[in-house]
Amino acid sequence: MLIKKNVDDFLVESIRKPSLDFGAFNVFRSVFNPSGPQGLPLDKLFSKLNAPLLLLWGGKDPWMNTPKKRNLYKKFTPKNTKEIVLDAGHCPHDEIPELVNQHILDWVDSL
């Protein structure tokens, strides 16, 4: 079975190049450091949202698709949200761009 890969030199460079910037390590570390800078809690952010929201998830995403995070989003997601779980990992827009694009177009047409 032939599996199409969407990893190319452009994608690799678009991830690698910013990692070479001065201070990139500290930014990356702060994202994963529980005692680092914290944004507003999800309930506060979602309570300010008045526009429709489309959430496209990769069902195989090891970071965002954990039961704890999924329950958190389900608890606070605004009523005008459409959620779609795709057969993809952390970057569905790179893994299955045609399907992601079609879902976005369908969602926009439904507004």
Using alpha carbons only, how large is the chain's radius of gyration in Å?
17
- Is 4 part of any domain? no
Looking at the 3D structure of the chain, how many domains does it have?
1
- Is 29 part of any domain? yes
- Is 3 part of any domain? no
Task: Please tell me the pTM assigned to this model.
Answer: 0.70
Domain of 95: which CATH number? 3.40.50.1820
- Is 2 part of any domain? no
Per-residue pLDDT of the chain (111 residues; tens, 9 = 90+): 445 566 778 878 988 898 899 988 888 777 777 666 677 777 788 888 889 999 998 999 888 878 888 788 888 888 889 999 999 998 899 889 999 999 999 999 999
Closest CA to 82 of 52, 51, 49, 47: 52
| Cα 94 from Cα 100, distance rounded (Å) | 9
- Is 1 part of any domain? no
- Is 72 part of any domain? yes
- Is 46 part of any domain? yes
- Is 24 part of any domain? yes
Residue range of the domain that includes 42: 9-110
Identity of residue 75: K
